[in-house]
């Protein structure tokens, strides 16, 4: 199988990707980036310098909570989990993204221009 060239994240998508990753349960930072990479077949890679400011922003807004725990290899790690407010935000952002993506796809798949005034 050909190696996927990582894509640049579209502005505004990182938060919803993190929220979706946490919808499956609490994760530490490295596990979040690994899950996003696996789920997208390596097309979306999130770097540490991008991830942690986003997590702190989400925590500050009440969408995620963090607590210290032990990772699978018994190292101390901060685990993030989705709050009820974060679940609502994920639902709303998912709907907005689906609407946006559908509109972009309509334009990209158009084979003829609509009649003027249509």
CATH number of domain containing 75:
1.10.10.10
Q: What is the residue range of 40's domain? A: 14-109
The answer to whether residue 7 sits within a structural domain is: no
The answer to whether residue 49 sits within a structural domain is: yes
74: left (phi over 0), alpha (psi -120 to 50) or beta: left
pLDDT digits (tens, 9 = 90+) for 56-90: 999 999 999 999 998 888 899 999 999 999 999 99
pLDDT of residue 2: 60
The answer to whether residue 100 sits within a structural domain is: yes
Q: Residues 63, 83: contact at Cβ < 8 Å?
A: yes
The answer to whether residue 50 sits within a structural domain is: yes
| pTM of the predicted model as reported, rounded to 2 decimal places | 0.86
Domain count, the chain: 1
């Amino acid at each position: 199988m050909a190696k996927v060239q990582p894509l640049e994240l579209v502005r505004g998508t990182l938060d919803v990707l993190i929220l979706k990753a946490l919808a499956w349960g609490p994760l530490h930072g490295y596990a979040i980036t690994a899950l996003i990479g696996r789920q997208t077949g390596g097309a979306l890679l999130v770097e540490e310098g991008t991830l942690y400011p986003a997590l702190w922003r989400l925590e500050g807004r009440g969408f995620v909570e963090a607590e210290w725990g032990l990772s699978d290899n018994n190292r101390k790690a901060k685990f993030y989990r989705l709050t009820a407010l974060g679940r609502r935000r994920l639902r709303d952002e998912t709907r907005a993204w689906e609407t946006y993506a559908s509109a972009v796809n309509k334009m990209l798949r158009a084979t003829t221009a609509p009649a003027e005034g249509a």
